[in-house]
Each structure stands twice: as C-alpha cells, then as structure tokens.
Amino acid sequence: MLDYINLKYKPKKTDLVCEFYVEANGVSFEESAENIAGESSIGTWTDLSTMNEKIAHQLKPKVFYLNEKENIIKVAYPEELFEPGNMPQILSSIAGNIYGMKILKNLRLEDITFTKKLLESFPGPEFGIAGIRKLLKEKDRPLIGTIVKPKVGLNEKQHADIAYEAWVGGLDIVKDDENLSSMSFNNFYERIRQTLKARDMAEVKTGHKKIYMPNVTSETMEMLKRARFVKANGGEYVMIDILTAGYASLQTLRNANLGLVIHAHRAGHAALTRNHQHGISMLAIAKIARLIGVDQLHIGTAVGKMDGAAIEVEAIKNEIEAKFVHEKKKQHILEQKWGNIKPVFAVCSGGLHPGMTAELVKIMGKNIIAQYGGGCHGHPDGTRAGATSIQQAVEAVMKKKSLPEYAKTHEELAKALELWGCL
C-alpha cells in the first residue's frame, strides 16, 4: 500500500486541500487517514500491479496534518486529479466513495481550499453583492423580503396579490418557497405573468425597485425553459434549490448566462450538515455554491427556527481564518477576495420576525438579505402591516434605536412585538 502520510509536507499552491473530521472503525486513526487519501485519489483496498512510479509521484495526495484528539486530518491533493470547471467530478473524488468505507464510523468534509487554476475554471456570481445593491439602489442597509405563505396551496392570483401587499408594505423582495414549482393549482408560467405584473404595479405605487424570485427548480431542460420565460417577461431573478437540483444543474443554469440574479436555496442541506460528525459542512457547501456562481445563498439565521447555532452561521459569514487559495486573512467566507470571483449575498431566513431584527444584524452585520415568512404574513393586521413592521424594525436598527423605543411611534412594529416579543 502507498504511504500517503507525510507530516513534513507543506501544501503547494497547486494543491487542493481538504479538512476532514474522521472517526475510525476498527483500525488506527492513521490507517483511516491513509485509506481516505487513497480511495479519494489513485488508491484502492489493495496493492496494484498497474500502479507505476510516475502515477504515484505525480498524483499521490499527502496527509500532512493528523490530530487524533480532535479527529481532524488534512489532505493535499495535486490539482491534476480534478477536471477544471467540473464540480461533480471534484466532489465525486473528495466526497464520494470514501463515505462508504467500512473502516470509517463517521466522516465529515469540513472545508475545501481550491487552487487558483480550479478557481479560474468557474465563473462565480454574475452580479454578487455590488450588482444586487446597484439593482435595488440600496447601498448600505440590510435588504428585506418575504416568502409567500402558505408555501403551497395558493392559486396564481392569490400568490400575486400577497406579493403585491408585501411590496407595497415596504419589502424589497418576494420569493417562492422551496417546494413551489408548477402545480395543478398554481401553474408556473401563469404565476410568473401575474406576479411580475403585481411587481410592476407595486413599483409604480411605491416609487421603489421591487424584486420577485421565482423558483425554477426542475429537470434541467425545463429549468432553463422556465428561467428564459422569466427573463422574457421582465424578471430579473431566479431561485434554485441547489442541493436537490444538483451541482451540475446549478452549473447549467449559471453557464447559460441569462443575465438573471441566481438566488440559492439550500433545501436538503441538513441531510448533509446537521450531524457534526458525518456529512459535509455548510461552510464547504457555501464555498462550492459561490464558486459555481450563485449571487445569494441561504446560510441560516442563528436566531430563527432552523437548527444551527449562531457560531455555525457566523462560520460561513465570518470565518476566523480564511483558507481559500491559501490566504490567511480575517474575512467573510462569502466576501473573501477570490481573484475575479465576486462576493455572495448572505441570506438569512427561517423563523424570523421583526423582534429578532436587531439581534440578527448584531450577529450577521448589515450585508445580509433578511427574509421573514410567517413573521410577515402572521402579523395581526395582515401581510401589508407585517411588511411595514419589518421595514420599521430595520429603520430602527439603522437609526441605532431600540425596537421597543421605535415601536412607541410605529403601530405596525408595536403590534408585531406584542405578538412575538423582542430578542
């Protein structure tokens, strides 16, 4: 068997580096590390007569870090092992067969450091944070939005009417939810027509730019058909469930260069991320999604209904030590300097209500898109008042006033705080 462990090795700039959490099963920690490196590259379960010195010299990865106390290993892979611009192939290597090995009790891909060559083989976001802020003409404050609720069950007109109420109430953004596509009771194409018409009406009434994010998640060819329909009807955004659709599907949408902002929903991520001993971290998923080219990405709220402590969400938004392309700076994961790859807007969604706004901004900063579903439509006076209460909560934060203080002169916020409280 090849010896993959070399603790004296220092990764080169041409190495893709992975950090894994590892729990061995019936073998030593070192043997588990050897097998992870081998199975994810040029090795297998036994010695090979077909292996030669040239292959081993050029393509053998190195396990250069072992920490059995914390169950962490780091592996440096020569970039020649990976096809540029092919994310499925990259992940089939570093997050593929290795999960099925009997000698592992648990395995989690914690982080990935791509090389400059691999980085440059992907387009990254077309718009990014600066492009989105330019589109909405909002330079500084958090962007605010809602998800039409109930997430399924409404017909096309009801959906459009609710969207209109949210926009007129003061929100920037309205989006479909992850499981709304084209249903017997709500046809995709008719929903787009009616909701974009409502958007236009809301812009005329308010004098402000409004955004609709329709969910185009589907079989790849149908997805592209839907995205092109959105574009043809004056839409500027599409949303895709990046994990259930798959990374190849996401690459297809981005590489179509339709001139549409891509909003990435992470539906299904917890199947990979929730178990902190096994799977793939949200940090790794976030890096992959940015590289492929999403403009916005759900990362959690730290204060809402979904699993995930504040420290986990902050790890994506504000990693302590940047590792991409071997940089060593304190920067946001989604906003690090990655050559020509633009920064990605962090989206916070899941159980938010106006009373959480100050704490959310305190944790996450102003460069976020905050989406309130039930926290908008559950307002005692309805969707429009709910939207207004959210706008007022953001105004209070930007003016450095407490929410209870601001609520004294803002009725909609007062009723929201009375119903849901204030963190």
DSSP output for 398-419: HTT--HHHHHTT-HHHHHHHHH
In angstroms, what CA-CA distances link 267 with 179, 243, 306?
9, 7, 12
Furthest-apart CA atoms within the chain: distance in Å:
80
Sheet holding 143-147, edge to edge: 211-213, 173-175, 143-147, 368-371, 345-349, 296-298, 261-265, 237-241
Neighbours of 30 (CB within 10 A): 15
Contact 11, 17 (CB under 8 A): yes
Known catalytic residue at 57:
no
Q: Per the residue annotation, which of 116, 117, 149, 209 is the catalytic one?
A: 149
Q: What are phi and psi of 324, to 5 degrees?
A: -70, 130
Known catalytic residue at 265:
yes
Q: Per the residue annotation, which of 60, 62, 210, 265 is the catalytic one?
A: 265
Helix (H) or strand (E) holding 368: strand 368-371
C-alpha 225/C-alpha 231 separation (Å) is: 10
Helix (H) or strand (E) holding 177: none
C-alpha 301/C-alpha 196 separation (Å) is: 28
Contact 323, 113 (CB under 8 A): yes
Number of separate helices (H) and strands (E) present in the chain:
18, 13
C-alpha 83/C-alpha 115 separation (Å) is: 12
Active site residue ranges: 149, 265
